[in-house]
Amino acid sequence: MERIARMFGVKRYNDMGFTLIELLVV
């Protein structure tokens, strides 16, 4: 998911490595 997040230009939300996209998906 990190690769997709980078494509969208989304920065890591925290040290865990979660991204805004992941949070929305979850």
Entry field: residues in the chain? 26
* pLDDT tens track for 13-22: 555 566 666 6
**5 pLDDT above the threshold of 60:** yes
Distances, alpha carbon 26 to alpha carbons 3, 6, in Å: 17, 18
pLDDT band at 3 (very low <50, low <70, confident <90, very high): confident
Tell me which residue has tokens 């990190």.
2
Number of domains in the chain: 1
Distance from chain centroid for Cα 18: 5
**12 pLDDT above the threshold of 60:** no
Q: Which range marks the domain in which residue 18 is found?
A: 1-26
pLDDT band at 7 (very low <50, low <70, confident <90, very high): low
Distance from chain centroid for Cα 21: 5
Mean pLDDT of 2-14: 61
**4 pLDDT above the threshold of 60:** yes
Radius of gyration from C-alpha coordinates of the chain: 8
